Amino acid sequence: MPDHTAPDRPGQNPANVRLHQEHFFASVDETGLGAVDAVADSGAPSSMFSEAWQKLRRRPMFWISSLIILLVITVAAFPSLFTSLDPRFCQLGNSLDGPTAGHPFGFDRQGCDIYSRVIYGARPSVLVGVLTTIAVVLIGTVVGSIAGFFGGWFDAILSRLTDVFFAVPLVLAAIVIMSLFSQSRSAITVVGVLAAFGWTQIARITRGSVMSVKNNDYVTAATSLGVGRGATLVRHILPNAAAPIIVYATVALGTFIVTEATLSFLGIGLPPSVVSWGGDIDAAQASLRVEPMVLFYPAAALGLTVLGFIMMGDVVRDALDPKVRKR
């Protein structure tokens, strides 16, 4: 199209040229403003946990740790699916023999099959870790949420109580208390001792998370609508403050499994009649120079289990941490 804005001849007034300039207007149907300004509002708004799941499912570490944890839980729940041998059946004639048919890990100093003991040792370790984690989450959440939500003298008393227990190292306290139950040790005893001194960290985390959430607008709206303080705490605050609690619980489960193994290794954890990884690691010390693989197999099972829970805690933290999610 010719350029009508340029003068036809020298000296022509540009204003006269603009009067004769052709103008084109796009049709309303061609602008597509409706499509540009349209907002899709048919879908339900995504929650924090749904967004976290979308992020988790794209992380290979999440699937690797999930497979490890699933394998460990399956072995702990159904050990007979993986071996038909009795872990307590021992023959001294097989002492420190290497792997043979049906005995892929060989035998320990007492002539017990190492593979069957590794398989059956998963149950008490995982059981102690899961029960202890549930107990510390319940205790720590109750104490931390009450202190953070109500404040005042509730916060002062519960915070000082938490500081008292926090000042006592977990392993040291467990060693001292378990020494008092040398004749009546059991998995429940270990869980009770670990839970009594292991709830302080999650109480602090819960208190801080509740304090950061309780002043949000939806809490104020619930209060203005007449919702009670207890109902507000349970229905609105705790669900939105649960992310750091879940992250810590995932990592703490692996920590409590290690603590139980440490107590059993020291001879004050689970009784000798219970097959456990910590007890087998303790018994394998005498054969470490002669046959180090006797110690390697239960230690590897323990390390793999703890690694799975720590990896899961890392990916869950990355998915639920608000600072990471905003990047």
- Asked whether 157 and 203 are in contact (CB, 8 A), the reply is no
Backbone phi and psi for residue 289, each to the nearest 5 degrees, phi listed first? -75, -30
Q: How many CB atoms lie within 10 A of CB 186?
A: 13
200 burial via Cβ count (<10 Å: 0-12, 13-18, 19+): buried
User: What pTM did the predictor assign?
Assistant: 0.79
Average pLDDT taken over every residue of the chain: 82
Residue with tokens 């976290």: 52
What percent of the chain shows pLDDT beyond 90? Answer: 28
Question: What's residue 155's pLDDT?
Answer: 86
Distance CA 285, CA 216 (A): 56
CA distance 44 to 37: 20
User: Which of 43-47, 177-181, 291-295, 320-324 is predicted with the least confidence, judged by mean pLDDT?
Assistant: 43-47
Alpha helices in the chain (DSSP H): 14-19, 28-31, 33-37, 48-56, 60-77, 114-120, 122-150, 152-166, 170-179, 187-198, 200-213, 217-224, 229-232, 238-240, 242-265, 277-283, 293-320, 322-325
Say if CB 314 and CB 61 are below 8 A apart.
Answer: yes
**CATH of the structural domain 71-325, one choice from 1.10.1740.10, 2.60.40.1730, 1.20.140.10, 1.10.3720.10:** 1.10.3720.10
Share of the chain above pLDDT 70, in %: 83
Residue 113 in contact with residue 85, Cβ under 8 Å?
A: yes
In this predicted model, what pLDDT tens digit does every residue of 141-188 receive, in sequence order? 999 999 988 888 888 998 899 889 888 888 899 998 988 887 778 889
SS3 247: helix
